[in-house]
Amino acid sequence: MKIETCKKESFVVIGKEGATTDGAGFIQKLWDEANSHFGEIAHLAKKDEDGNISGIWGAMSDFSRSFQPWEGFQKGLYLAGVECNEDAKAPDGWTKWVIPGYEYIYVERENDNTFSEVIRYMKGNGIALAGAVHDFTCPKTGKGYIFFPIRKL
């Protein structure tokens, strides 16, 4: 597992929001809903210099919406969406989150154990989470990554 670091200033994600209290499989249901209605927000998606979508995010927050980690890594909010320009307004039925800027440790999602392996690595190296963890999918490669905030900017 290759662990890398980066800094990302505050950014906006517009997507479909749900909570762990919605029951098993709620994240997949959110993605199905977001993907089937993507045309409603496609024009809001932030683009790179080649005109490609910048990022697809599975953003997370605690229930207070303060972007702290999920309670026990088991209970919280999830937003299945796309990175948008900061002035974008969420259409009806969509939710806009403004995620604070952080320095992150990030890794490619290799398997179902990747999250727990990074948490173990962080504990072993005295690195604390500074906020909620986020899933990121690179539109160019289709690869999935997990972003662990380690310092607020």
* Average pLDDT estimate for 20-33: 96
Amino acid identity, residue 25?
G
Taking 90 as the threshold, does the pLDDT of residue 50 lie above it?
no
Burial 41-51 (b: 16+ CB within 10 A, else e): beebbbeeeee
Report residue 34's pLDDT band, with 50, 70 and 90 as the boundaries: very high
pLDDT digits over 75-99, tens only?
999 999 999 999 999 999 999 999 9
Report residue 73's pLDDT band, with 50, 70 and 90 as the boundaries: confident
pLDDT digits over 103-143, tens only?
999 999 999 999 999 999 999 999 999 999 999 999 989 99
Question: Can you give the pLDDT at residue 55?
Answer: 93
Q: Quick one: tokens of 108?
A: 């490619």
Name the residue range of residue 93's domain: 4-152
* Residue 10: count of CB within 10 angstroms of its CB: 11
Give the number of domains in the chain: 1
CATH number at residue 53: 3.20.80.10
CB burial class (10 A; 0-12, 13-18, 19+) of residue 38? middle
CB burial class (10 A; 0-12, 13-18, 19+) of residue 141? exposed
